[in-house]
Amino acid sequence: MKRPRKYIKRTALVLLPLFALWCVVPLFAGDGEMGFTNYFFSDSQTNKVITSSFNMARKLLEQTSFLIDIELDHVTVPPITGTTGASRPQREGNQPFEKSRGQVILGLEQGVGENWTFGANIYRSQEVDYVSSAAVATLSVDMFRKNTTLTLRGQFNSDKVGKILESGDITWQDKRVLTGAVDLTQVLGPTTVLDLAYDVVSLKGLLSDPYLQVNVIDDQGGTVLVDELHPSKRLRNAGTARLTQFIPSVRASLFASYRYYGDNWSVHSNTYEMKLNKYVTNDLVFGLDYRFYSQTGAYFYRDTYVGSEFTTDLFRTVDYKLTPFSSNNFGLSLTFMLRALSRQGSDFEFLENSSLELYYFRYFNTLDFSADIVQFAIKFSI
């Protein structure tokens, strides 16, 4: 009986936001914008994610808008093996692990005069072994005839990190995250935009993965399996520069970005990315994407942990995100604008701002891991 239930759950996940959209359109049509996205992700390691989301922005007053975003995902992680053991419960490790996550964001956006905008959002995300609540505030100001936009953002997260035990019970620990960010967008010309961003993130609490375990060689030469242990505090900093250039002669957009990241765990990274989007026809866009990433390892990372002290209170990790490595990611995409159908008759006018999107990525890194990733999305916007 498990398999039919699984397909019913996945079908409901896809149809629920679409049904909600269908119900509310008559209530709010003409007062704002609404959108629906259904997204499917799969890689060569048989990880799968199905995501459905519904969002709406409705104007309440002349400069006041209400925002809502509802998202549901269903995740499938393969059975534990030598290469995919990763972040999932050990319980029933020979079976795929499946879980669903629900997320709701509510917000208000208030304009002040012609140039100032203030936003406030509350966020709630919940799954079987992770719960996150957040409050976000943003302040944005347009300057120099709206050629320059400065945005400040602050966010506080209060999270509960769970671990599913062999018995099926769940143990919980706390994590707190405080984020501050500043973004400056500058129009350099009719077809050129520069974006500069900086963010700092302070994390406290359980910062290791409760499911990951480390092999430690003790003083007697034996092997002991112990839980991963990270410091309980982390301070992150990151700066990003992004240049967007539209090329009218070939109807294409070129994006180039660089990001530097550093933290007090001695992890430092550099990310370089370039994207090209080209109109093939008025309603079909072809995209190319390349991303290179490299990082150093955390100060407590070891290829092998030797000594009984690592079975007690010394930090230890098997998280690949804390090891020194580099990676390459090549991507291809096709986006079909459904406005092509809306022109065929008034019955399809609601598709004017909707699209179908298909992505393929080839990822590989120096940790001897590679994956073929396929993403498919359907986006409806009214």
pLDDT of 9 = 55
Is 162 or 353 the better-scoring residue by pLDDT?
Answer: 162
Confidence bin at 62 (pLDDT 50/70/90): confident
pLDDT of 299 = 97
Confidence bin at 84 (pLDDT 50/70/90): very low
DSSP-derived 3-state class of residue 22: helix
pTM score of the predicted model:
0.85
Domain ranges of the chain: 1-110
Nearest to 108 by CA among 64, 139, 138, 141: 64
Residues 6+ apart with CB under 8 A from 31: 58, 59
Q: Measured between alpha carbons, how far is 222 from 125 in angstroms, rounded to an integer?
A: 42
Pairing of strands 97-112, 64-77: antiparallel
Over range 257-286, report the average pLDDT: 97
- Asked whether 14 and 50 are in contact (CB, 8 A), the reply is yes
pLDDT tens across 27-52, in order?
544 467 788 888 888 876 678 888 88
Q: Measured between alpha carbons, how far is 306 from 204 in angstroms, rounded to an integer?
A: 28
Over range 333-352, report the average pLDDT: 77
